[in-house]
A and B are shown apart, each in its own frame.
Chain A
Amino acid sequence: MQLTQRAKPVDRSPMTFLESLYLWNIIKGMGITLKHMFLKKATIQYPEEKRPFSPVFRGLHVLNRDAEGRENCTACGLCAVACPAEAITMEAAERMPGEEKLYREEKYAAKYEINMLRCIFCGLCEEACPKDAIYLSQTFAPANYARKGFIYGKQELLIPHPIEQPEAYQKALGDRQPSSRNANQPVA
């Protein structure tokens, strides 16, 4: 049964004298390599040039802040529940008087850790989050020497402050914006 039209019959006839000299085939092969010298290079010169990501690329997580720089996360734990790889752990704490500039709501995550070796970058945490506090950015986790280095805490995950470091904030924000209704909106 023929599955495709691409099958080529194998020619097993003995080589002619000209073929047995190999010279003609060698010249043909050299023509091919010469042609490739002038073709476009496939290389992407990495540090200077970067391969563009797909618009749906899911990279490293970002813990978001609102426009005033307050952390969105309320440590509700929905992301941890949604996570199929069980990569997320957190500890909640209550906001004290005077911390209103740091945290948006009365409860916040004192500890928030994602194990990047467990994470499968599925984005379910982003979908689960009711506060748009977590979303997947367009960078990826850099290499590390120890397993410990892959457990990212708030220090690594938290987005830079939008007022104090606007440039770094925009860079970390990337093209992918949180989509939900209350994204970056101050609480009424």
Chain B
Amino acid sequence: MVIGAVTLWFILEKVILIASIIGLSFFIAMYTTLAERKIAGWMQDRHGPNRAGPFGILQPLADGGKLFFKEEITPVTSNRFLFLLGPALAMIVALVTSTVIPWGAPVLTSTGTIALQVADVDMGILIVFSVVSVGVYGIMIGGWASNNKFSLLAAIRGASQMVSYELPMSLALIAVLFMTGSLKMSEIVSYQMANGWNIIYQPLGFLIFFICALAECNRTPFDLPEAENELNFGYHQEYSSMKLGFYLFAEYINMFVSSAVMATLFLGGYDIPFVNEASWGLEPWLYSLISFSVMMAKVSFLLFVFIWIRWTIPRFRYDQLMNLGWRKLIPLALFNMVLSAAILLWLKS
């Protein structure tokens, strides 16, 4: 059966791919929560959760189960529809971002190639950015619909933080795009496979991008939207049960996806470092599997750094946060962009 140029097989392939990527995102987000608590424990000379199953591997299930059984409270004065929409939007947006990321080398089969990427569109990276910007609505809607002044203030705080840090992030990205000359994620990866990873040519760009990614994911040291102890919990103050769980979980998925984006943009995506894997002559499926694991290793490393930073650096004050974003990172990113442009122009002429 053929619908236009789209075969049933194509639809099936994409559905399977989407399902597995969503499953993977959930799985990794689940275990990032465990990793976070374990690493926090280790860094504080503790063991971390180790009671639920061996090494605490059942802890995320226990946590999730607990959230499901908690009383679900909807404030009477809240706007019910928007109150529900907030966490839903946060979750949807977090999941949608993973569509354009190439997870591994394409698998060659007798019927054709299967890209390990849901959509390899021309404006790949722009989709990530536009969808991430929509994520602000999850926070804003949730905070506003709670009808609580603290939630609202925290939501405004969170939204302005995310908007401010998107600017230097995009500026750092532009320098990368100067080099790769394409917005397509698969081409960015193949460029890096041919010419070396972008982090070598864009260390400053990577640093800026990484700092902004921390801020975008509301991670320490920029976790002001959820500063429980000093700022009254933040935009999800009125949320309970699994709606709160959705917000918290979406944050971990965001972390996972932004690690994947950073790995793709700066760490060569699924490229295996230091070797020319094309010359090995491996079976295509085996090569895809290895490249996928390499990608996952890079993502895991970045997730570890996220967690590592969280348990090292104290939280910024709000004015320091804005000062850093607008008065340090944006000029630095602009400088990086102009410098890369000048060097590229000089090399090409």
Tell me if B47 and A41 are in contact (CB < 8 A).
yes
Tell me if A37 and B313 are in contact (CB < 8 A).
no
In the complex, B39 has a CB within 8 A of chain A: yes
Tell me if A33 and B47 are in contact (CB < 8 A).
no
From the candidates B42, B46, B309, name the one contacting A30 in the complex (CB within 8 A): B309
Task: Report how far A61 CA is from B198 CA in the complex, Å.
Answer: 71
From the candidates B45, B309, B311, B312, name the one contacting A40 in the complex (CB within 8 A): B45
0/1 interface trace, chain A 42-80, chain B, CB 8 Å (1 if under): 110100000000000000000000000000000000000
The interface size of chain B toward A, counting residues with CB under 8 Å, comes to: 13
Q: Which residues of A contact B26 (CB under 8 A)?
A: none
A26-B312, A26-B313 known; A33 vs B46 contact (CB < 8 Å): no
Task: Report how far A45 CA is from B47 CA in the complex, Å.
Answer: 9
Q: Tell me the smallest distance from the CB of A38 to a CB of chain B, in Å.
A: 8
Q: Which residues of B contact A33 (CB under 8 A)?
A: 43, 308, 311-312
Tell me if B45 and A30 are in contact (CB < 8 A).
no
Tell me if A39 and B45 are in contact (CB < 8 A).
yes
User: Can you name the residue of chain B whose Cβ is closest to the Cβ of A25?
Assistant: B313
Q: Which residues of B contact A37 (CB under 8 A)?
A: 39, 42-43
Q: Which residues of A contact B308 (CB under 8 A)?
A: 30, 33-34
In the complex, A29 has a CB within 8 A of chain B: yes
In the complex, A6 has a CB within 8 A of chain B: no
From the candidates A26, A29, A34, A36, name the one contacting B45 in the complex (CB within 8 A): A36
Q: Which residues of A contact B39 (CB under 8 A)?
A: 37
Q: Tell me the smallest distance from the CB of B306 to a CB of chain A, in Å.
A: 12
In the complex, B44 has a CB within 8 A of chain A: yes
Task: Report how far A30 CA is from B45 CA in the complex, Å.
Answer: 15
Tell me if B47 and A30 are in contact (CB < 8 A).
no
Q: Which residues of B contact A42 (CB under 8 A)?
A: 45-46
A33-B308, A34-B308 known; A43 vs B47 contact (CB < 8 Å): yes
User: Can you name the residue of chain A whose Cβ is closest to the Cβ of B221?
Assistant: A26
Q: Which residues of B contact A34 (CB under 8 A)?
A: 43, 308
A-B contact pairs, 20 of them (CB 8 A): A26-B312, A26-B313, A29-B312, A29-B313, A30-B308, A33-B43, A33-B312, A34-B43, A36-B44, A36-B45, A37-B42, A37-B43, A38-B42, A39-B45, A41-B46, A41-B47, A42-B46, A43-B45, A43-B46, A45-B47
Task: List the interface of chain A (C-beta within 8 A of B).
Answer: 23, 26, 29-30, 32-34, 36-43, 45
